[in-house]
Chains A and B, each alone.
Chain A
Amino acid sequence: MSTVLEALRMVAAPDVVLAILLSSIYGLVVGCLPGLSATMATALLVPVTFYLSPIAAIATIISASAMAIFSGDIPGTLLRIPGTPASAAYTDEAYAMTRKGRPELALGICLWFSAIGGIAGTISLVAMAPLLAEIAFSFSTYEYFWLGIMGLMCATLVARSSPVKAIASMLLGLLISCVGMENPGGVPRFTFGLTDLLGGIEAVPALVGAFAVSEVMRALLQPEPPKLAHRRFGSILAGQIALTKQYWKQMTRGNVIGIIIGVLPGAGADMAAWVSYAMAKKFSKEPQKFGTGHPEGLVEAGASNNASLASGWVPSLLFGIPGDTITAIAIGVLYMKGLNPGPTLFTERASSMYALYIIFLIANIIMIPLGIMMIRGTSHVMRAPRAAIMPVVLVCAAVGSFATGNNLSAVLIVAAFGIIGYVLEANGYPVAGMVLGIVMGSMVEQSFVTSLIKSDGSILPFFDRPVSAILAAMTFAALLWPVAIWLWGRPKAAKRAQPA
């Protein structure tokens, strides 16, 4: 009990309260701007968290990302431009509702079920993390190696692109993580004689470059999105209780699927939303109504993506393996603040963990009033032209990355990764895989090399320990899944190609 009180005291500190409030508003505004994703919002916040207390830093990341995931639904609903990739799955459905003249109902569903999903995810985090921590104590480097690889493989499955290209871009990220002296031999690798590269390529500037700068570059070549007509909304929450009663089954299923996908390393909110929307359609009694402005799919997918956001912290906190790109950033912040991920976090820093749960709950509760304010003010925010937003994003990318180490070479890394991210994305290589590769590279290499040294170069122990074997099987399943889909789809495609 005393740890809970201690945690409450930590959260009630003025700097933490202020951090939650300001980063919530920031997350809502950035998430709602088309083209600025939740990941980008979080990446640009990291330099600011350097200068905050540990709890305030984590509060910043949690509230900004939760708000941005909800807020991404707003431009999706009103303009059919998803604010974040996690909203893309049900954008058409929400927009169809707007065209039927019921945007407030669509936005209300997104807000209400996002908040419920977030709370369900938090409860799962509270319940699962300590249990899994017990199991995680028995994990050796073999298990950590497979967990890392499985996370990377899941990330390639989520990408809606060629799986081979997704794997290639993930390998590229692993290769980038090899740069520097942080390796088993302590020798400089791939530094090309540059002292700036001896410390390796920092993840934060790479993230900012790949997510923020490349986004600005892409925006330069795309036409300005259409302007939003000013409109007054009716009551946002009206009818939500009735919908909750009517669709409680869908909501619960969405929450559960979101939680499960969030816990899987490497798969996050985007995948949760796609899977849940498809699930809602498959099990619906009225699947023909989907895509015409039917609330069922919105309820399930909205409940799912926010649930996965909270449960995505489970692998991050326990193993240091990110559930998605947002928690990949969060892990960097955790290390920086001395809260190194691992099972011991739950025994030694229990009060910090309780504080984290409380922040999650607060963020999802204040999401409702703040979200309503955001929806009402959204036409003002979205009237800002890109010419006013993108230049500021670029300057923030430069200053923010400089602030990570007061070193100008970080700004060069941002520029380089902007180009790399842009070129990769333009050619169908998903950037998220590369970023996860960079973040997890040294952990994967360390567990790989340590395991091989322990086993005298034999690869047998990678497979004959029980948990190892299960994780290995799951990894290979993720690898072979696309092959199965391809083999299964081939006869159909051939049939289609032949003239009837």
Chain B
Amino acid sequence: MLLSDRVTGGAVAALGAAAAYVGAQLPPVPGQEVGPAAFPTLIGLLLILCGGLIAFGVGRSFEDEAEAAVEESEVAHGAPHAAPPTPLRSLKAALPPALLLFYVLAVDRLGFVPTTFLMIVAMVFAFGGRWRLALALGTIGPVAVHLVFYKLLRVPLPAGLLPMPWS
């Protein structure tokens, strides 16, 4: 559990309110009662309802049951228990989206192979891999992916600083 139901339920309700408000102001199609505003407004109102129910803990008992069943079976089989995530450790999860953002910003300048080399090296280390694996995977992976997507599937991947012999 990351956030309390009050917080997520409130967020859902706020999103619903925003959607209903913005949705209701969409211009109608002249001469018709029902237009582009109807659906988002309806969804927004339903989201407000759901958010409210969640914030007040309705449906919570279903989750408790599911969690209890999982825990019970984990205890019974001695499954490895994850260390409780500290705020610093949870930040690690932000690495993949951050690397995708890096890809978007860098790929046109650096080129496909250098950019993905850096991504792979960073990911290997984040998973606790060694230098040898990082270098090997970082060299072979991007070249192989480039070969398949550029040569076979004709996706225009930018060459950048390091053009491949087949590009």
- Check A415–B46 contact: CB distance below 8 A: no
CB within 8 Å of A: which B134-167 residues: 137, 141-142, 145, 149, 152-157
C-alpha gap A171/B51 in the complex (Å): 11
Q: Of A183, A221, A397, which contacts B90 at CB under 8 A?
A: A221
Across-interface contacts of B142 in A (CB, < 8 A): 395
- Check A394–B133 contact: CB distance below 8 A: no
Across-interface contacts of A385 in B (CB, < 8 A): 127, 129, 133
20 contacting pairs across A/B (C-beta < 8 A): A80-B77, A80-B79, A167-B50, A172-B12, A175-B15, A175-B40, A185-B26, A185-B28, A221-B92, A390-B123, A391-B141, A394-B120, A395-B141, A396-B145, A419-B94, A426-B2, A428-B1, A448-B38, A449-B38, A453-B32
Q: Nearest residue in B to A417 (C-beta to C-beta)?
A: B97
- Check B96–A216 contact: CB distance below 8 A: yes
Query: How far, in Å, is B111 (CB) from chain A's closest CB?
Result: 13
Query: 6 closest Cβ contacts across the A-B interface?
Result: A387-B129, A185-B36, A391-B123, A162-B59, A387-B127, A415-B100
Q: Nearest residue in B to A163 (C-beta to C-beta)?
A: B59
Beyond A168-B47, A185-B26, A190-B19, list 10 extra A-B contacts (CB 8 Å): A47-B153, A92-B73, A167-B46, A171-B50, A213-B100, A388-B129, A391-B141, A408-B104, A452-B38, A453-B34
Known: A178-B40, A385-B129. A160 touches B61 (CB 8 A): no
A195 contacts B by Cβ under 8 Å = no
- Check B36–A189 contact: CB distance below 8 A: yes
- Check A391–B62 contact: CB distance below 8 A: no
CB within 8 Å of A: which B65-113 residues: 66, 73, 77, 79-80, 82-83, 85, 89-90, 92-97, 99-101, 103-104, 107-108, 112
Across-interface contacts of B17 in A (CB, < 8 A): none
C-alpha gap A16/B71 in the complex (Å): 45
Known: A185-B29, A418-B100. A174 touches B43 (CB 8 A): yes
Query: How far, in Å, is A235 (CB) from chain B's closest CB?
Result: 28
Q: Nearest residue in A to B130 (C-beta to C-beta)?
A: A387
A337 contacts B by Cβ under 8 Å = no
Q: Of A163, A392, A415, which contacts B101 at CB under 8 A?
A: A415
- Check A164–B54 contact: CB distance below 8 A: yes
- We find that the number of chain B residues with CB closer than 8 angstroms to chain A is 82
Q: Nearest residue in A to B77 (C-beta to C-beta)?
A: A80
Seen from chain A, the residues whose Cβ lies within 8 Å of a Cβ on chain B are 47-48, 50-51, 80, 92, 95, 160-165, 167-168, 171-172, 174-175, 178, 183-187, 189-190, 213, 216-226, 385-388, 390-392, 394-399, 402-403, 406, 408, 411-412, 414-416, 418-419, 422-423, 426-429, 445, 448-449, 452-453, 456-457, 482, 486, 489, 493
Across-interface contacts of A395 in B (CB, < 8 A): 116, 119-120, 141-142, 145
Query: How far, in Å, is A266 (CB) from chain B's closest CB?
Result: 17
Across-interface contacts of A48 in B (CB, < 8 A): 153
Across-interface contacts of B63 in A (CB, < 8 A): 161-162, 165, 428
- Check A489–B157 contact: CB distance below 8 A: no
Query: How far, in Å, is A397 (CB) from chain B's closest CB?
Result: 8
Across-interface contacts of A388 in B (CB, < 8 A): 124, 129, 133, 137
Known: A164-B54, A394-B96. A486 touches B61 (CB 8 A): yes
- Check A457–B40 contact: CB distance below 8 A: no
Across-interface contacts of B114 in A (CB, < 8 A): none
Known: A396-B145, A399-B157, A428-B63. A175 touches B44 (CB 8 A): yes
Q: Nearest residue in A to B148 (C-beta to C-beta)?
A: A48
Query: How far, in Å, is A27 (CB) from chain B's closest CB?
Result: 17
Q: Nearest residue in A to B56 (C-beta to C-beta)?
A: A164
C-alpha gap A426/B97 in the complex (Å): 16
C-alpha gap A448/B35 in the complex (Å): 11
- Check B39–A223 contact: CB distance below 8 A: no
Across-interface contacts of B156 in A (CB, < 8 A): 406
Q: Of A171, A213, A392, A456, which contacts B141 at CB under 8 A?
A: A392
Query: How far, in Å, is A13 (CB) from chain B's closest CB?
Result: 17
Q: Of A80, A403, A457, which contacts B33 at CB under 8 A?
A: A457
Q: Nearest residue in A to B29 (C-beta to C-beta)?
A: A185
